Amino acid sequence: MSLFRGSGVAIVTPFKDCKVNYEKLAELLEWHLKQGTDSIVVCGTTGEASTLSEDEQKNVIKFTVEKINKRIPVIAGTGSNCTAHAVELSKYAEEVGADAALVITPYYNKSTQRGLIAHFTEVANAISIPIVVYNVPGRTGVNILPSTLAELSKLPNIKGVKEASGNIAQIAEIARLVPDDFYIYSGNDDMIVPLMSLKGDGVISVVANIAPKDIHDLVQKFIDGDLEGSCELQLKMKPLIDSLFIEVNPIPVKAAMNLMGFNMGKVRLPLVDMSEDNLEILKTRMKEYGLI
């Protein structure tokens, strides 16, 4: 299977009384389908996978796959800083019908580049569905180098990268080194157009949780050759994007969804509610954008 081109939402996980709210998750998935979202990325950073139990993570993946029912691709977050655990989660995602796995670089233990190659090779050898490598050094403490990614791209089912380093020179080097059929997604909502200008295929987006149609349109306009229209949307969205990262993701985006009436519940500890000052900034940007 090939991966998607377009806008994938890094979807939030709704909670109620400290438990996953599957009723709200089902509503959210249907809304994204109506809004034109091209792919659902479940149990990633924005989905608070790090505070889900293993059973919760597996249940959320299975539930999402079943509800979407092949209408658009479902990419399951299955990464871990323990290779054996990443293998187990990835095998489970494949078993229940996920279309691909999003596998983050191991965090905290700060692997060497050789270790990264060994880690991703182990996961790739355990499954047959496509793997999207997730590089977000600001969270993991380790950056996957372009030369490492080029080496991994030789494996038949490592088919793409969610690149969230924020380093445009690194993105250019990745695009230069990987094969033409290797997918490159922006992991930064404020860099979609620049990344797509370097052979990128789209975005795995936080902002798509609250403005899915606009993110879809931004990417589709670029694909269709309407660079001016795509750039216009990117620049229009910039203040909103900035406000969604005024505190650590997904604190602001979950607050934004609650302001819009989605009732996604609170973030789990150690994350906490936004400060009042930052919440006011978020509200102002959302009002300016027309979301509330």
Peptide bond into 270 cis (omega under 30): yes
Please give the average per-residue pLDDT across 108-121, as a whole number. Answer: 97
Split at pLDDT 50, 70, 90, the class of 1 is low
Determine whether 121 is exposed, middle or buried from the number of CB atoms within 10 Å of its CB (0-12, 13-18, 19+): middle
Predicted TM-score (pTM) of this structure: 0.96
Nearest to 213 by CA among 100, 98, 291: 291
Flag whether pLDDT at 2 surpasses 80: no
State how beta strands 158-163 and 6-10 pair: unpaired
- Could you say which of 134, 159, 183, 254 is catalytic? 134
d(CA 285, CA 264): 20
Residues 48-97: tens digit of each pLDDT: 999 999 999 999 999 999 999 999 999 999 999 999 999 999 999 999 99
From residue 279, give the alpha-carbon distance in Å to each of 41, 239, 250: 26, 14, 13
Tell me the pLDDT tens digit for each residue of 144-176. 999 999 999 999 999 999 999 999 999 999 999
What is 6-225's CATH superfamily?
A: Aldolase class I (3.20.20.70)
Domain residue spans of the chain: 6-225
Catalytic residue check, 134 = yes
* CA 62 remoteness from chain centre: 18
Q: What is the CA radius of gyration of the chain?
A: 18
The active-site residue, picked from 162, 183, 221, 254, is 162
